[in-house]
Every structure is written in C-alpha cells, then in structure tokens.
Chains A and B, each alone.
Chain A
Amino acid sequence: MSGHDEHSGEHDDAAPGDEHAGGSGFGAIQVYLLGLLLAVGLTVASFWVAGSNAVWGPGIPAALLALAVAQIGVHLVFFLHITSGPENTNNTLALAFGVMIVLLVVVGSVWIMAHLNHNMMPLPMDKLIQMQH
C-alpha cells in the first residue's frame, strides 16, 4: 500500500493521522469506510435509544454515555489512527493525559456542585420556582 511505504523508513514513529504501520490487510479507504459504518451504527443507536421506550428509562443516560464513549473510540482509531502500537506510544500517552484532565474537570465540577446544591438549598428547585411566582 502506497501510504505505508511512504511512512516507513529508518524512523518508525507515527504521527497522529498516519495510517496503520502494521499490515492489517486493510487499505486506507477501507479503514475510513469501516470507521464510517461503525460510527453511523453507533449514532443511529444513540438516537434510537433516546427516542424509544425499549430501554428502561433510568438506564437511558448510562446507555447514551456508553454509546458516545464507544463512538469516540471508533473516531480515534479509524479516523485519527491513534493505536496501541509501539510507534504510537507518545500519541497515546498524550491522549491519556488529556482524558485525565477532562475527567477531572467535568466529573469534579459536577460532583462538587451537586454537593454544594445539596447543602445550600433545603428546598428542591421546582418548589423554589413556584415560590417565586
């Protein structure tokens, strides 16, 4: 495959977005096509779960988050070509650090603010709104 020949030389690091260095048997376009199929499937599943009653109500947010994480993984592997191979160590480590910061910011904010709301407001939100009217 032409892309592979260009990228391999005496250096075998890979930039993000490089095609797979290992001989996976797929051409570049097939990799994008497979990624597109998986992403479309996961997107359709997300919209279907949100709009139907097939999933137990309280389980819908968990199902949607799981589908989103799966789709982000598909995008990373098939579109951005971030893999677990040795030539991708630097890219994967940077990604792991980014994910850690994102989780700290989002989960930390939600966690702290939920506790703050719990401690600061003896009344539930809807009662408070009724009182204002």
Chain B
Amino acid sequence: MSKDPSPSDVAAVYLQHGPYGRGHDPHGHGHIEARGHGAGGPAPKRVIVGYGFWIFLLSDIVMFSGFFAAYAVLAHATAGGPTGRQLFDLDRVAIETACLLASSFTCGLGYVAATRRRQIETQFWMLVTGLLGLVFVVLEVLEFYEMIQKGAGPDRSAFLSAFFALVGCHGLHVTVGGLWLGTMMAQIWFKGFRPEIMRRLLCFNLFWHALDIIWVALFTIVYLLGAGA
C-alpha cells in the first residue's frame, strides 16, 4: 500500500498502541517488544507508577541532602552548649535502628504475601511493620523530650537546630508512612487485592524502604560520628 495512512488509520493505531505507534516490529509479525527505551509503546501502568514514585523518592532524598548538608556544616557550632557526645544515647539509637530495619523486612514480607493474595498473612506483616514503626517514633519523641528538658532544645545552638530539623524531618516521614500503612491495611481488607491497590502497596513499600535508607545515613553521620568524634 503506497498511499499515506488516513487519519482514521492513525487514530486506530493510537487507540490500540498509544501515542508511540506500533513500536518496534521489525518483522511485521505483530510482536511488539517494549524495552523501555522509547520503542514499543507505553509500559504497563504499574511500571509507570513505580517509576514515577521512584522519581518522587529520589527528589525526597535530594531534599534530605539539604538537611544533611546543613547538619554537616553546623555540627560543631555548639555555641558553648552540649555536644553530640554528651547528648546521644547510642543504646537507644541501636534499638531504633533494629526496629526500622526489622520493619523494612516485615514490610517486604507483607508485599510478598500480597502478591500471593493471602489476606491474613498480608495484614499480619503490615501490622508488625506498623508496630515497629510506632516503637521507633515513640523512642524518638522520648529522646527529643529528654533533650528539651535538659535545655538542649532546637533553640540552644545551630548544631541542635540542624539536629532537630534533620532527625525530626525523618521522624515526620515515618509518622506519615505509618498513617499511609493504616490506610493501605484498610483498603486491602475492604477492597481486596485489586490492581490499583497493589500499585499503591508497591509505592508504600518503596517509601518505607527509602526511609530506612535515609536512617542508615542518619545514624551513621549524626549519631555514630557525632558520639565518637
């Protein structure tokens, strides 16, 4: 056929295969291979959703890098006030770390159970994840409360302002993640393992694992280096 495709042909291809046309089809057999390199048309929705959420997480990590940079610059600006070595309790930080790491693991187990469509198992692991996250947040709030009681609040020195901003921002993320977790448990319970629920669960998993990655940087740079140096 030598004539140009008519507008209705173009529209049909668009409707069937999306804005990128028929894609990579070298032998004309109708096999379309999408490899995510621009050929082959749009990827499945869950890949697009996961990728978009990954971009969001990376931008969130870039936002955290600003707080980390501020802390690194101001870590020694104690204005004659207490230093990290006097304030930090590494035993409590070790428990917090264990809670968050274990919750990352149980969160992954919950996702695996959800892909296998096991309601009770999914709910159990997500509940464990939420409880571990709650223990983490409670320990952190206790730490903040004790520091403020000792007169080492965020208004004491530039070091403490940067500390409360950085650690508090992470704690806020964990708290919001806990609310999201409760929402996901309710949605899975009442709506079942529908495709859009599974996509949200995938995003929640990525969020929770990313929080653990930020905590690794945080306990190393703030607590271990701060208490040792």
**Hey, which bits of chain A sit against chain B, CB under 8 A?**
2-3, 6, 9-18, 28-29, 32-33, 35-36, 39-40, 43, 46-47, 49-51, 60-61, 64-65, 67-68, 71-72, 75-76, 79-80, 86-87, 89-91, 94-95, 97-98, 101-102, 105-106, 108-110, 113, 125, 129, 132-133
Interchain nearest-CB distance for B4 vs A (Å): 29
Asked if B112 is at the interface (CB within 8 A of a chain A CB), the reply is yes
Contact yes or no, B34 A12, CB < 8 A: yes
- Contact between A51 and B90 (Cβ–Cβ < 8 Å)? yes
Q: How far is the CB of B34 from chain A (nearest CB, A)?
A: 4
- Roughly how many angstroms separate A133 CA and B112 CA in the complex, as a whole number? 60
Given the known inter-chain contacts A64-B220, A68-B220, A129-B80, please indicate yes or no for A98 contacting B37, CB distance below 8 A.
no
Given contact pairs A17-B50, A46-B220, A105 touches B66 in the complex (Cβ within 8 A)? yes
Are B54 and A91 interface neighbours, CB within 8 A? yes
The range of chain B's interface size is 35 or more
B residues lining the A interface (CB < 8 Å): 31-37, 40, 43-44, 46-47, 49-51, 53-55, 58-59, 61-62, 65-66, 68-70, 72-73, 76, 79-80, 90, 94, 97-98, 101-102, 104-105, 108-109, 111-112, 115-116, 202, 205-206, 209-210, 212-213, 216-217, 219-221, 224-225, 227-229
B79 nearest CB neighbor, chain A only: A129
Partner of B101, one of A36, A51, A64, A102: A36
Residues of A within 8 A of B221 (CB): 68
CB contacts (< 8 Å) of A132 on chain B: these are: 80
A14 close to B72 (CB less than 8 A): no
Main secondary structure of the interface of A (DSSP, over half): helix
With A68-B220, A105-B62, A106-B69 known as contacts, the answer to whether A16 contacts B90 (CB < 8 A) is no
CB neighbours of B40 from chain A (8 A): 11
